[in-house]
């Protein structure tokens, strides 16, 4: 065999000094070369990603043409760098390496969310398209100037179908302008994926779960199959009650439910229609939104309350900089990205949230969701740059959600938010409240990426983007567009994660994992009783083991992290079914004379 010369050039554009480090070798790449390469990339990206995060933070907190341009420039530079490193990482594909090094090399290749081709023109266009899509969403308004927050309040509270329809269609006027740009993004990013050796971007996204992409797709479908009967029962009951409320002309007793009646802009969570679908005999038990206000909470106090839950488990309090640097309420005088997010700026202690928090029970949960990200980020800060992440994307989304399952009546009484714990006759109400958000979410969580997988693979084209979207909404959720959609419509674009390219299967996986985590935590706490009444508040034993899993970050394949905390290596929907078992009995009873399905 001919001796090849491997020339490894690692451009280390060290901030401010422009150093270029050339690691040259005239032999086949060795394990030592691979280790040196990984170490150099790690040092470089650790440093540069801090500046990248600062630029993104400023843009998300102050959206203007200028900050869009700045973020596009930095994003283009960083993508070019990451793509270059990913190309170089391929040189070590055939080497026998220790699993840690192999995992880091995989992360260099797969860590690029939206890859760009090597040529500078495509790379620059891609970054500009993405900055533009993102700000079209975040600065979008209905035709009458109403913001997403205002329109969402109508969706949550109005019971007038015309008003609901106007809010629903109004918000969807922001997205036709995204369609061509989105198609351009898909074409360029797929070219980038292909240059890295992947069939398309969807394939890359499915490859991030420590198993072959096709196996992951089958795994997601398997989990959905486990929980689908529960969802079907919920859809059937909710459809019947909406039919009682609005009549046959608005929602039929059979078929899919029109998407504007479920209390949420995307019909992804339905908790806001509890008053229409809840049991007559038993109330929700308490109205947490009202209780928060009655207890004199403000938005910051809601975040404090979330922090207090984590510290009760043994986590350290949030640093002072969290409080001075986070954005907790919507500013009046500038455009910001209101969609809630949690940030780690320096991969160490500079953690923050950014939310336009409203004083509602819904946002009380979102606060815990976001803090879950921050406590995870800080727990794995000692890990290598490449291992600073969730065991898989679903783990990251599930941490705060696990805590929200511990927001039980018992907990709320302990922290003084309610005076009386509802008796067992309140269980249906408690469970239905949660199911309307969490169980209703499951098919939505799955179909968002089913749509993108079809888009990136070319199965859907710009002409069929919208039809394909509604086909999936109907198939998985049993939901349909309330009015015919015209040829320009690009309804997926009206959901944050599409123009912002945030993969979404993570939320579906999180909705499964959070119940597995909750069950394991309750077992560790020595709890005996129905899962939905268990809170781990104040339990240091459960907290210590939870924290140990968080500290692992992405250093091991996710089954190892899952096993460390729950004792099993399989994701499994049976904890969801166990949690809602009493509700399923009630739903089946309600549905017994109805014809279900769509």
Assess contact for 546 and 565: CB atoms under 8 A.
yes
User: Residues 473, 479, 480, 482: what is their CA dihedral angle, to the nearest 10 degrees?
Assistant: -140
Does the protein bind ligand X8Z through residue 340 (CB under 6 A)?
yes
Give how many residues touch ligand X8Z by CB under 6 A. Answer: 5
Query: Is residue 448 classed exposed, middle or buried when 0-12, 13-18 and 19+ CB atoms within 10 A define those classes?
Result: buried
Q: Which is nearer to ligand X8Z, 453 or 586 (CB)?
A: 453
Q: Which is nearer to ligand X8Z, 97 or 337 (CB)?
A: 337
**How far apart are alpha carbons 587 and 427 in whole angstroms?**
13
- Residues with Cβ within 8 Å of 94's Cβ and at least 6 positions away in sequence, in order, are none
Q: Which does 88 bind (CB under 5 to 8 A by kind): ligand X8Z, Zn ion, none?
A: none
**How far apart are alpha carbons 34 and 40 in whole angstroms?**
10
Assess contact for 21 and 10: CB atoms under 8 A.
yes
Sketch the per residue contact string, 258 through 277, with Zn ion: x for CB under 5 A, - otherwise: --------------------
Which residue has the closest beta carbon to ligand X8Z? 340
From 260, 370, 397, 518, the catalytic residue: 370
Q: Which residues pair with 480 in a beta bridge?
A: 258
CB of 501 to ligand X8Z, least distance (A): 13
DSSP type of residue 218: H
Q: Which is nearer to ligand X8Z, 130 or 366 (CB)?
A: 366
CB of 339 to ligand X8Z, least distance (A): 6
Q: What is the 3-state secondary structure (H, E, C) of 494-519?
A: HCCCCCCCCCCHHHHHHHHHHHHHHH
- Which of 6, 61, 140, 116 shows the shortest CA–CA distance to 327? 61
Does the protein bind ligand X8Z through residue 341 (CB under 6 A)?
yes
Q: Which residues pair with 342 in a beta bridge?
A: 353
Q: Which is nearer to Zn ion, 365 or 397 (CB)?
A: 397
Q: Which is nearer to Zn ion, 307 or 397 (CB)?
A: 397
Q: Which is nearer to ligand X8Z, 366 or 505 (CB)?
A: 366
Q: Which is nearer to ligand X8Z, 203 or 508 (CB)?
A: 508
Q: Which does 341 bind (CB under 5 to 8 A by kind): Zn ion, ligand X8Z, none?
A: ligand X8Z
Q: Which does 404 bind (CB under 5 to 8 A by kind): Zn ion, ligand X8Z, none?
A: none
Q: Which does 295 bind (CB under 5 to 8 A by kind): ligand X8Z, Zn ion, none?
A: none
**How far apart are alpha carbons 116 and 121 in whole angstroms?**
10
Find where tokens 């935590």 sit.
Answer: 521
CA distances from 257 to 27, 252, 460, 473 (A): 64, 8, 24, 10
- Residues with Cβ within 8 Å of 180's Cβ and at least 6 positions away in sequence, in order, are 462
CB of 394 to Zn ion, least distance (A): 10
CB of 36 to ligand X8Z, least distance (A): 36
Sketch the per residue contact string, 85 through 124, with ligand X8Z: x for CB under 6 A, - otherwise: ----------------------------------------
DSSP type of residue 280: S
Say whether 569 sits in a helix, a strand or coil. Answer: coil
Does the protein bind ligand X8Z through residue 503 (CB under 6 A)?
no
Q: Which is nearer to ligand X8Z, 505 or 535 (CB)?
A: 505
Count Cα neighbours of 534 within 13 Å in the Cβ-side half-sphere: 23
Alpha carbon 97 to its chain's center: 33
Sketch the per residue contact string, 457 through 496, with ligand X8Z: x for CB under 6 A, - otherwise: ----------------------------------------
Q: Which does 516 bind (CB under 5 to 8 A by kind): ligand X8Z, Zn ion, none?
A: none
CB of 373 to Zn ion, least distance (A): 6
Q: Which is nearer to Zn ion, 395 or 586 (CB)?
A: 395
- Residues with Cβ within 8 Å of 324's Cβ and at least 6 positions away in sequence, in order, are none
Does the protein bind ligand X8Z through residue 235 (CB under 6 A)?
no
Q: Which does 507 bind (CB under 5 to 8 A by kind): ligand X8Z, Zn ion, none?
A: ligand X8Z
Q: Which does 206 bind (CB under 5 to 8 A by kind): ligand X8Z, Zn ion, none?
A: none
Say whether 8 sits in a helix, a strand or coil. Answer: strand
Q: How far apart are the first and last CA of the chain?
A: 63
Helix (H) or strand (E) holding 257: strand 257-258
CB of 513 to ligand X8Z, least distance (A): 13
**How far apart are alpha carbons 311 and 307 in whole angstroms?**
6
DSSP type of residue 265: T
**How far apart are alpha carbons 269 and 259 in whole angstroms?**
11
Does the protein bind ligand X8Z through residue 138 (CB under 6 A)?
no
Six-digit token string for 311: 């510290």
Which residue has the closest beta carbon to Zn ion? 397
User: Residues 420, 422, 424, 425: what is their CA dihedral angle, to the nearest 10 degrees?
Assistant: 140
299 carries an active-site annotation: no
389-408: contacts with Zn ion (CB under 5 A): 397
Q: Strand 21-24 vs strand 257-258: parallel, antiparallel, or unpaired?
A: unpaired
- Which of 403, 207, 236, 430 shows the shortest CA–CA distance to 308? 403
Which residue from 507, 546, 558, 565 is in contact with ligand X8Z, where contact means CB under 6 A?
507
CB of 369 to ligand X8Z, least distance (A): 6
Sketch the per residue contact string, 354 through 373, with ligand X8Z: x for CB under 6 A, - otherwise: ------------x--x----
**How far apart are alpha carbons 429 and 442 in whole angstroms?**
20
CB of 538 to ligand X8Z, least distance (A): 26
497 carries an active-site annotation: yes
Sketch the per residue contact string, 295 through 334, with ligand X8Z: x for CB under 6 A, - otherwise: ----------------------------------------
Q: Which does 366 bind (CB under 5 to 8 A by kind): Zn ion, ligand X8Z, none?
A: ligand X8Z
Q: Following DSSP, what letter does each residue of 346-365 receive, concatenated? A: SSSS-EEEE----SSHHHHH
CB of 343 to ligand X8Z, least distance (A): 11
- Which of 534, 372, 510 shows the shortest CA–CA distance to 445? 510
CA torsion sign for 446, 130, 201, 343 is: negative
Q: Which does 340 bind (CB under 5 to 8 A by kind): Zn ion, ligand X8Z, none?
A: ligand X8Z
From 497, 551, 563, 578, the catalytic residue: 497
**What positions carry a catalytic annotation?**
370, 497
Residues within the interface to ligand X8Z (CB under 6 A)? 340-341, 366, 369, 507
Residues within the interface to Zn ion (CB under 5 A)? 397
């Amino acid at each position: 065999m001919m001796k090849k010369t491997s020339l490894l050039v690692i451009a280390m554009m060290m901030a401010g000094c422009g150093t270029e480090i050339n690691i040259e070798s005239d032999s086949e790449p060795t394990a030592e070369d691979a280790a040196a390469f990984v170490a150099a990339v790690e040092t470089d990206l650790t440093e540069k990603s801090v500046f990248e995060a600062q630029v993104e933070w400023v843009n998300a907190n102050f959206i203007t043409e200028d900050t869009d341009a700045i973020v596009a420039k930095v994003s283009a530079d960083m993508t070019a760098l990451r793509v270059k490193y990913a190309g170089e990482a391929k040189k070590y594909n055939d080497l026998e390496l220790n699993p840690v090094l192999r995992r880091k090399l995989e992360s260099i290749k797969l860590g690029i969310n939206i890859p760009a081709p090597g040529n500078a023109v495509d790379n620059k266009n891609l970054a500009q398209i993405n900055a533009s899509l993102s700000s079209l969403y975040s600065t979008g308004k209905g035709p009458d100037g109403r913001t997403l927050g205002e329109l969402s309040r109508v969706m949550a509270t109005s019971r007038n179908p015309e008003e609901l329809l106007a809010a629903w269609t109004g918000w969807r006027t922001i997205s036709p302008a995204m369609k061509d740009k989105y198609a351009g993004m898909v074409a360029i990013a797929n070219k980038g994926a292909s240059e890295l050796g992947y069939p398309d971007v969807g394939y890359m996204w499915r490859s991030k779960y420590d198993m072959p992409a096709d196996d992951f797709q089958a795994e997601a479908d398997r989990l959905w199959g486990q929980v689908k009967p529960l969802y079907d029962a919920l859809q059937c009951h909710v459809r019947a009650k909406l039919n009682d409320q609005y009549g046959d002309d608005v929602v039929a007793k059979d078929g899919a439910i029109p998407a504007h009646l479920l209390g949420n802009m995307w019909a992804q969570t339905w908790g806001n229609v509890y008053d229409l679908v809840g049991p007559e005999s038993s109330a929700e038990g308490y109205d947490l939104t009202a209780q928060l206000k009655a207890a004199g909470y403000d938005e910051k106090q809601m975040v404090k309350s979330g922090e207090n839950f984590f510290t009760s488990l043994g986590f350290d309090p949030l640093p002072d900089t969290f409080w001075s640097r986070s954005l907790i309420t919507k500013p009046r005088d500038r455009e910001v990205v209101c969609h809630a997010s949690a940030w780690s700026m320096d991969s160490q202690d500079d953690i923050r949230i950014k939310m336009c928090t409203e004083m509602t029970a819904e946002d009380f949960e979102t606060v815990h969701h976001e803090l879950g990200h921050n406590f995870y980020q800080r727990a794995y800060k000692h890990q290598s740059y490449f291992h600073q992440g969730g065991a898989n994307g679903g783990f990251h989304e599930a941490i705060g959600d696990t805590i929200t399952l511990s927001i039980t009546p018992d907990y709320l009484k302990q922290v003084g938010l309610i005076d009386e714990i509802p008796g067992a006759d309140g269980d249906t109400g408690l469970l239905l409240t949660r199911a309307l958000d969490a169980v209703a979410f499951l098919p939505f969580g799955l179909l968002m990426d089913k749509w993108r997988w079809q888009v990136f693979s070319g199965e859907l084209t710009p002409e069929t983007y919208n039809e394909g979207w509604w086909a999936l909404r109907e198939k998985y959720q049993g939901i349909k567009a309330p009015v015919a959609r015209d040829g320009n419509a690009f309804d997926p674009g009206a959901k944050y994660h599409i123009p912002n390219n945030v993969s979404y299967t993570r939320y579906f996986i999180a909705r499964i994992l959070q119940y597995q985590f909750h069950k394991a935590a309750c077992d560790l706490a020595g709890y005996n009783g129905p899962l939905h009444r268990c809170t781990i508040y104040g339990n240091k034993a459960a907290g210590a083991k939870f924290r140990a899993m968080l500290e692992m970050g992405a250093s091991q394949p996710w089954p190892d992290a899952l096993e460390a905390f729950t004792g099993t290596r399989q994701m499994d929907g049976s904890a969801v079914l166990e949690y809602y078992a009493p509700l399923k009995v009630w739903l089946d009873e309600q549905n017994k004379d109805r014809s279900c399905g769509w």
